[in-house]
Structure 1
């Protein structure tokens, strides 16, 4: 029998989302014999594409920021840098329509100045706030910049409570703090831990002038997160098993992963990189010191409304709406392969929509089409060629106060059994960036002691 220390070390990664892809690539590059197991027929987790007739549809509009160094590192590792686009400078059109039909378009954009002056000009002319409210926002932003993200007390109160204590009004919350926060945290300020909100605003808006520049894929997400990821995993020697479900994980000197159907995979390292429920279901008894905490980590949904019009209504890549059920609208025409001359495909990204996530499609149609006509007057004479919705009921963990204590780190009490996923303790909300960082953290923990540690505090791919 070959001695353990002479055998090629092996790993099984359970889950083919961004966390699992990252962990599998890192472990394979370090010389591990890796098998990645994914229940679905594709990689990418919740950031995926599917076909609807001739249309290629992303399940939701997934964007990233220039400060998302880990996700951007993964994109580079997959050779997909040419397939994404990052704004030269942050520029967000923000549209509101008054009850009498008066349209007001403002912009949140940055200048080429140091923080916090980079946003001063934009705020000074932002029409959705009064001059007094603009001053209130500046004061709160400076106070936010001074918060210590390592202070555990930040997780005990809501962002809304902190905003009120710093002079913020319902108008400033709606026109700025929730405009950004709902999209990035999938929760309103009332529902969000100050710790996570402070992290988002300090990192994205108050750290580096270009940190908040918005990036998006120029192709369907599946082209990157499945096609290129699968090719790179296989090139790295990872055995990828799609449409394969794990039934049980048994821990021993060498762990055993039992697949549905009875096949057994043995490994020195097992990374559970699926959703929080699936990971919890596979964790052996005693693997976490406080397993009940994971069960208390709630969810927040995301609804995406997809509309294909017979004509072009939107002349910019996206906009955000105020005073409307509509939150963010994106032009997905070029990405989808829409082959109807002159037609346009718009996708509405709706976060923190607990009250709408289960509404029938007909009711959502009645709710959103008139709103689009109100925001985009040209829609009033346009024909709707297609209308459909995609729903992610458990899109993210709920970032409520007290959440930090519920998110486990990558290391369990079982040697060689690790956790990854955007729901783990990354310091980030449930984003693509958080998912990739968690995959790095799990790989780092698995490889600890076998090589000289690498400083990866920025989340970049090690070189």
Structure 2
């Protein structure tokens, strides 16, 4: 039974999820995306022989909604999980340390690893253990936590700057795309509790084994087509307006302008674009969305003529490098080794020229990997994501809107909405699920009223 017509604006993970879920609930669905492909910010591009991901989107086993989506679109085999959480931690001139978990119940699963973490002194490790137990007692939904930063909270607990840099910040910067002083304690609590402390296997890392455009965009397009969703790419929505019986969405396509009509509209775009699309509607709170701002990620790509490390992934301390990933096989590189460096909260690097970044990161890689001193750089390039995430700073919880808006039939999705999660693939998918639930709830309520009348 066709329950009504839904237009989803935006073809990222939130939009794909909302479109599939609305279709499963019996709605006729159109999805429009301004880009020539689906996948949103998670995509790949060709550079010579390489198929390069714009960012390194690893995940944790606790990303249950995201994993369900991958299964739904037939892409679950594109992820390989560690058997147990394990992150090598490198530092120039030092023996590598390792963060890992043991086969014990939470939170004891981390105790042996923490005791053996040589990047901290014994007293620092003991204090970190006490702080971890304190985090486990916090409620990430407590509004008071969102009013302070992770850095402030850690200082109040007596954590040293070294402990912040070598452990808390090491994980938080990657997860929140913000330095501890600029990161919401509420979101940090979500990261550490759900991702590390509450369940033993939640922190096991999954690494994509396919380029993101294949994993998300291509698989999503096939799944949407199989489900009967009409997908229109290179179709830019210009606005969302009230129509005589529902909504009107004018779009620009290569063939000209087109007007889509819908009973419900799901806006699944980044928050700056969403604010522009709903400008003609009385959406309560839309004027505050700009306060979320954005935070950049810069990815540095180095292709050597030979292998320089046998590590698939590593975190780095005391170096300009934050995280390094071996993407040789996944990218299709025919020779040598291709490493991708992920630099979060990269406001400084964002404005630097590629040659400037090469002068910083090429020597840094040679410091970390002695074999790189004998290797030749075949290629060095940089990809920049100026608006990679919303700025996950203190005070953002009050600004993130729920899926349901003050305009019946207009629904929001996206990792920036009030999912309770940081800006991650998991948050994006959960927002799409919630958007479909709201669409269905409002449509059913409307139908019930019409039948009663």
TM-score (norm 1): 0.93
For 1:382, the equivalent position in structure 2 comes to: 375
**Structure 2 CA distance for partners of 1:87 and 1:47, relative to 1, 3 Å:** same
The structure 1 residue matched to 2:235, chosen from 235, 241, 244, is 244
**Structure 2 CA distance for partners of 1:103 and 1:117, relative to 1, 3 Å:** same
Q: 1:60-139 residue pairs with structure 2 within 5 A?
A: 60-97=55-92, 102-139=93-130
Q: Over residues 8-65 of structure 1, what are the superposed CA-to-partner deviations in whole Å (9 max), with x where a residue is unaligned?
A: 5111100000000000000111111111000111111111111112210111110110
The answer to whether the 8 A contact 2:390-2:416 is kept is: yes
Is 1:295 equivalent to 2:286 in the alignment? Answer: no
Q: 1:274-293 residue pairs with structure 2 within 5 A?
A: 274-293=269-288
3-state SS of 1:73 partner: helix
For 2:323, the equivalent position in structure 1 comes to: 328
The answer to whether the 8 A contact 1:251-1:414 is kept is: no
Deviation at 1:285, TM superposition (A): 4.1
Superposed structure 1 runs of 4+ greater than 2 Å apart: 284-288, 449-452
Q: Over residues 321-367 of structure 1, what are the superposed CA-to-partner deviations in whole Å (9 max), with x where a residue is unaligned?
A: 00111000000001011112xx0000000000111112100000001
Q: Over residues 106-134 of structure 1, what are the superposed CA-to-partner deviations in whole Å (9 max), with x where a residue is unaligned?
A: 11100000111101111111010000000
**Structure 2 CA distance for partners of 1:448 and 1:8, relative to 1, 3 Å:** closer
The structure 2 residue matched to 1:229, chosen from 220, 235, 250, is 220
Q: 1:250-289 residue pairs with structure 2 within 5 A?
A: 250-252=241-243, 253-260=245-252, 261-289=256-284
Deviation at 1:194, TM superposition (A): 0.6
For 1:27, the equivalent position in structure 2 comes to: 22
3-state SS of 2:356 partner: helix
Rounded Cα–Cα distance in structure 2 between residues aligned with 1:288 and 1:402: 21
3-state SS of 1:175 partner: helix
Rounded Cα–Cα distance in structure 1 between residues aligned with 2:58 and 2:73: 17
For 2:300, the equivalent position in structure 1 comes to: 305
Deviation at 1:286, TM superposition (A): 4.8
3-state SS of 1:28 partner: helix
Q: Over residues 80-100 of structure 1, what are the superposed CA-to-partner deviations in whole Å (9 max), with x where a residue is unaligned?
A: 121111111000000112xxx
Deviation at 1:296, TM superposition (A): 1.0
Is 1:424 equivalent to 2:420 in the alignment? Answer: no
Deviation at 1:450, TM superposition (A): 6.4
For 2:195, the equivalent position in structure 1 comes to: 204
Rounded Cα–Cα distance in structure 2 between residues aligned with 1:314 and 1:212: 24
Rounded Cα–Cα distance in structure 2 between residues aligned with 1:195 and 1:249: 33
Rounded Cα–Cα distance in structure 1 between residues aligned with 2:150 and 2:38: 34
3-state SS of 2:438 partner: helix
Is 1:402 equivalent to 2:402 in the alignment? Answer: no
Give the superposed CA RMSD. 1.3
For 1:455, the equivalent position in structure 2 comes to: none
The answer to whether the 8 A contact 1:91-1:107 is kept is: yes
3-state SS of 1:355 partner: helix
TM-score (norm 2): 0.95
Rounded Cα–Cα distance in structure 2 between residues aligned with 1:449 and 1:410: 12
3-state SS of 2:210 partner: coil
Is 1:344 equivalent to 2:337 in the alignment? Answer: yes
For 1:353, the equivalent position in structure 2 comes to: 346
Rounded Cα–Cα distance in structure 2 between residues aligned with 1:167 and 1:78: 47
Rounded Cα–Cα distance in structure 2 between residues aligned with 1:288 and 1:449: 16
3-state SS of 1:229 partner: helix
3-state SS of 1:426 partner: coil
Rounded Cα–Cα distance in structure 2 between residues aligned with 1:159 and 1:199: 12
Q: 1:449-460 residue pairs with structure 2 within 5 A?
A: none
Is 1:152 equivalent to 2:143 in the alignment? Answer: yes
Rounded Cα–Cα distance in structure 2 between residues aligned with 1:112 and 1:407: 37
Moved more, 357-366 or 145-154: 145-154
For 1:461, the equivalent position in structure 2 comes to: none
3-state SS of 1:296 partner: helix
Deviation at 1:370, TM superposition (A): 0.3
* Structure 1: stretches of 5+ with no match in the other structure: 1-5, 453-463
